A and B are shown apart, each in its own frame.
Chain A
Amino acid sequence: MNTTYNFAFFDEGSKREIRRATLKAIAIPGYQVPFASREMPIGRGWGTGGLQLTLSLIGMKDVLKVIDQGSDESVNAVNIKKLVSNTTGVEVTEHTSKATLIQSRHRIPEVPLTKEQILVLQVPLPEPLRYYEPSETETKKLHAEKEYSGAWLMLFEQIMKYGGMATGADHPVLVHDRYVMAPSPIPRFDNPKMNANEALILLGAGREKKVYAVPPYTKVVSLDFEDYLFQAEIFADKHCRICGQTDVFLDELVDELTDETVYQCNDTSNCLEKLNSVGVK
């Protein structure tokens, strides 16, 4: 552990400021709270929002897990894990159920979260209405007046263009019947997991300097139309080629030599746990 830094890299004042913004975010589910995003040893847009939340919350007894698009071992996840454990000395894990603090880039783990856990999501674009209205002043007004026709309009445009809602990720949700929120670019598959989740979900956007939250057991509804209902990605008749699971989010991989398409678990630690539980053949 590197003791030349204060515990968890930040000075205590910074951590307190971020926690204060976090508390406000929890008090107003789905509302984007501005905060003084710090300079970090990693570039903005590489998870600084999530990292700042993690560092402000982490304590000696926490067990940390970091995921990057479902993987525990990708560069981004490994580096964030290194930074946090180097400046705190906390235990890191790959097992979702063992972790108390999970920082994730664009996935909610397959293993259901519990009320002992906090999920921190990294957010590139926190404003769900940004494409519809470029001005921050205006979008703030729209949120204040609960004027969300723009969010539905964007989905309507997709239906007109592509014949269906075409959000690959980041399908907007209505939180607690009040704020429309960008769920960070998690796949639609993960949207229903946000509804009434037992864990506290925090979302941090470092570049855009916003923090927002979905407190435990909060109602989260994905936006849709009466005749075009929200639908998660379906992997009918597909299963993970490694562990054989079917009801999980699968990556589609194309073998360029054989032109064969194969599917495999996106959540690597869940896949590994599944394999270990059946035992090696």
Chain B
Amino acid sequence: MTDFEVPVLSVKNLNKQYGPGCLKCRGGESSSLVKNYCQVCGTVYACRNVSFDVFPGEVLGIVGESGSGKSTLMQCLYFDQEVTSGEAYVSDYENGEKNLFQESSQQQRYIRNHIMGKVYQNPLLGLRMNFSSIGNIAEKLIAAGNNHVGMMESRGTELLNKVHIPVHRRKEAPKNFSGGMQQRVQIAKALSNHPPLLLLDEVTTGLDLSVQASVLDLIKSLQRELGISIVLVSHDLGVIRMLADRTLVMLEGKVIEQGLTDQILEDPQQPYTQQLVHSLL
């Protein structure tokens, strides 16, 4: 046995800025910034030196107010956006020795298709609304190199079963589905190629409470069953409390506090975290 577990995902000093930056804001370090916005050149520093590790089978929660850089961070990790600087390593890709952000766009696409799954807050981004639900799942399977219709159909049906989409509706387009069902199709799609790493961006925001509960339940049981690692972004502390083993708190693009979820929720150290925890109804 090794002394230390190897992280599935390791992110080091990730920076993302929108805008050119100027002498006044000095790469986001200046105190003249309003939150993370430079009033001189209009640059927004969305993520500033974000570093963290995700270990096998772990659920890492990320909380923070809106505009704190949570979603930008997730988009950078899934290569939807280019990072300004920083490194990320995935243990399943090249033994975790290659910085993902330096790889070519073909390689990044390979990583997305083979190693990651992502569920977006808005199903419009994660699904093709005019294609059938099973086709949406097949899209990810085809991208990961499958070329057998029968196999893809049975895998798709199995996954849709798992997320409680009735079998007779599997050939229907997600545009005909309710928000909660669309979200579940997204989860099935993200899980289709057995990704070791799943990125969940505000999956339950906007869903009603009972659907929220069933989606969360589903994620929890799938995570236990398949042993996947999850990075979970939410501004809902209830979701974080239920799912996350460890939690990062982000504010103005920076990680201001991190630790075990219980620790963060029971004994917050930073003023912002304290305020956040105490405003929990």
Contacts and interface: CB of A to CB of B under 8 A. Distances in A.
B138 interface: yes
A157 B170 CA distance: 12
A188 to B, nearest CB: 18
Contact of A225 (B105, B128, B132, B147): B147
A145 interface: yes
Contacts of A161: 132, 171
A227 B150 CA distance: 7
A159 interface: yes
> A132, A152, A160: which has the most chain B beta carbons within 10 Å?
A160
B139 A149 contact: yes
Given A145-B105, A146-B106, A147-B143, A153 B150 contact: no
Contacts of B135: 153, 156-157, 160
> B135, B148, B171: which has the most chain A beta carbons within 10 Å?
B135
A144 B139 CA distance: 19
Contacts of B128: 132
B55 to A, nearest CB: 31
B134 A145 contact: no
Given A147-B109, A227-B150, A153 B139 contact: yes
B131 A226 contact: no
B106 A156 contact: no
Contacts of B147: 152, 225-226
A152 B142 contact: yes
A67 to B, nearest CB: 35
A149 B142 contact: yes
Interface in B130-177: 131-132, 134-135, 138-139, 142-143, 147-150, 152-153, 171
A160 B169 CA distance: 12
Interface of B is mostly: helix
A228 interface: yes
B148 A225 contact: yes
B109 A228 contact: no
Interface string A91-105: 000000000000000
A87 B142 CA distance: 50
A203 B153 CA distance: 36
Contacts of A147: 109, 143
Given A161-B171, A228-B149, A145 B142 contact: no
> A153, A159, A226: which has the most chain B beta carbons within 10 Å?
A153
A226 B143 contact: no
A153 B150 CA distance: 14
A160 B171 contact: yes
Contacts of B106: 145-146
Given A145-B106, A153-B135, 9 more contacts: A146-B106, A153-B138, A153-B142, A156-B152, A159-B149, A160-B132, A160-B135, A161-B171, A226-B147
Closest 5 CB pairs of A and B: A149-B143, A149-B142, A226-B148, A225-B149, A152-B142
Interface of A: 132, 141, 144-147, 149-150, 152-153, 156-157, 159-161, 225-228
